[in-house]
Chains A and B, each alone.
Chain A
Amino acid sequence: MDAEKKNYGKLFFSTFKLSACTFGGGFVIIPLMRKKFVEELHWIEEQEMLDLTAIAQSSPGAIAVNASILVGYHVAGVPGALVTVAGTVLPPLIIISIISFFYTAFRDNAIVNMAMTGMLAGVAAVICDVVITMAGGVLRQKRVLPVLVMLLSFAAVRFFNVNIILIILICGAIGAADTYLRARKGAGAK
């Protein structure tokens, strides 16, 4: 019982610290978690961490939150997962709360305004960079279907204002059908 209590504490503070240090969101937390839980605490095996990463990446929601749920669940079941979610969510919650209370005062400040104008151009560039990298990955697969899905989805969102959720559902169905057909083709070729 005591050991379990200690684990909850350790789980909470480990994820709290990791989340507080994860700038730029998302994937950055994975190598940090690997270092902590695989190398330092030996709670998770190397291969298992890769699988958990794949699950975290492919499930809805923030990767950092998903990864911490998986780690917490693995170490201490559902209560463990709740503890790690709390640990992951609290640092951004606290920091953004503080910032947003000063936000209006900040926003009306001339210097902050100048900085924000530049930073907006910066964010646009960062997103552009992300899109170029990700779209490059799709093009390198050298398959027609993903490229077609990408172009049609873009047109649907940008020019026809189609509901994003509808597009996600349709593309998920296309992915499922594609996997099923390819698996059957693979089985038939054998």
Chain B
Amino acid sequence: MIYLELLWSFIQIGLFSIGGGYAAMPLIQRQVVDLHPWLTMTQFADIMAIAEMTPGPIAINSATFVGIQVGGLPGALVATIGCVLPSCVIVMTLAYVYYRFRGLTMVQGVLAGLRPAVIAMIASAGISLIILSFFGQRELPADLSGVQPIPVLIFCAALVILRKWKVNPIYVMAGAGLISIVVYSAF
């Protein structure tokens, strides 16, 4: 039953992505690329780019996208519901506790412990995307001479711009897309 599988996958994504935004990325990759044959790594990278360019949380965006690819509009609804279900239960419980006790040192301690691990996971997922971008394939090839120079240059320029001037990521991505069109058309 494809809808149940979707629901269960996105419940897990919703349940274990802590820290929002990019924290969900490695979990989504694992569920929809590695564990299930729902998206290719290229499609996954595309949805990350689309999610960045459109409003709304990345997890919801990819839930909708994956859901539609796998099971049409009902699939999108099921995946989205799965994605927010853990939040609804946990956050409402915490809200109840908060308004009763206000202040949760232990909970904050657990979450402080999670933060470094979450960063490590985002870093790993980021490296996967870099490999895909630079070499056009998922695994790092033994022969590194197949590297594509244009994505490498765009990546370096984008990173410098982001670090130095803290530009809104949407503009950086749009710029990267435009420059890429110009460069590939020229050659």
- A and B co-occur in one complex: yes
Chain A: interface residue total (CB-CB under 8 A): 92
- Contact across chains for A62 and B87 when beta carbons are under 8 A apart: yes
The reply to whether A122 and B172 contact each other, CB–CB distance below 8 Å, is yes
Minimum CB–CB distance for A15 against chain B, Å = 12
Min Cβ gap A13→B in Å is 15
Taking CB atoms and an 8 Å cut-off, the chain A residues in 130-185 that contact chain B are 130-132, 134-135, 138, 146-147, 149-151, 153-154, 156-158, 164-165, 167-168, 171-176, 178-180, 183
Total contacting residues, chain B, CB less than 8 A: 105
Min CB–CB distance B20 → chain A (angstroms): 4
CA distance A158 to B64 in the complex (A): 27
- B61 partner residues in chain A, CB cutoff 8 A: 25, 92, 96
Between A and B, how many residue pairs show CB distances below 8 Å? 356
User: Is B48's CB within 8 Å of the partner chain A?
Assistant: yes
Complex CA distance for A160 and B93, rounded to whole angstroms: 35
In the bound complex, CA of A76 to CA of B130 (Å): 45
- Among A3-11, A35-43, A112-120, the one that faces the other chain is A112-120
Decide: A124 near B55, CB < 8 A? Known: A165-B16, A168-B114, A175-B114.
no
Contact (Cβ within 8 A) A122 B49: yes
Chain B residues numbered 41-81 whose CB sits less than 8 Å from any CB in chain A = 45-46, 48-61, 64-65, 68-69, 73, 76-77, 80
Closest to B116 in A: A150
B 131-161 contacts with A by CB, 8 A: 132-133, 150-152, 154-156, 158-159
Give the complex CA separation of A181 and B159 in angstroms: 40
Q: Contact between A62 and B126 (Cβ–Cβ < 8 Å)?
A: no
Say yes or no: is B100 at the interface (Cβ < 8 Å to chain A): no
Interface flag for B129 (CB, 8 Å): yes
Q: CB distance A157 to B26 under 8 Å?
A: yes
Q: B115 touching A146 by the CB < 8 A rule? A: yes
Which residues from B are CB-within-8-Å of A21? 55
Would you call A61 an interface residue if the criterion is a C-beta within 8 Å of the partner chain's C-beta atoms?
yes
Chain A residues near B117 (CB, 8 Å)?
149-150, 153, 167-168, 171
A125 touches B155 (CB 8 A): yes
Binary flags per residue of A23-55, CB closer than 8 Å to B gives 1, else 0: 111110000000000000000000000011011
* A interface: dominant SS: helix
Contact in complex: B17, A93 (CB < 8 Å): no
> Do A99 and B92 touch (CB < 8 A)?
no
A165 to B163, CA, bound (A): 31
**A127 interfacial contact with B, CB 8 Å:** yes
Q: Beyond A63-B20, A175-B109, is A117–B180 a contact (Cβ under 8 Å)?
A: yes
The distance in angstroms between the C-alpha atoms of A37 and B154, with both chains bound, is: 40
Q: How far is the CA of A103 from the CA of B154 in the complex (A)?
A: 24
Across-interface contacts of B49 in A (CB, < 8 A): 116, 119-120, 122-123
Query: Can you name 23 A-B pairs with beta carbons within 8 Å?
Result: A20-B56, A25-B20, A25-B57, A51-B102, A61-B20, A61-B91, A62-B20, A66-B87, A69-B88, A73-B92, A74-B99, A81-B91, A91-B56, A95-B56, A119-B49, A122-B175, A146-B113, A151-B120, A154-B121, A158-B127, A165-B16, A175-B111, A180-B109
A residues with a Cβ closer than 8 A to B are 19-27, 51-52, 54-66, 69-70, 73-74, 78, 81-82, 85, 88-89, 91-93, 95-97, 99-101, 103, 107, 111, 114-132, 134-135, 138, 146-147, 149-151, 153-154, 156-158, 164-165, 167-168, 171-176, 178-180, 183
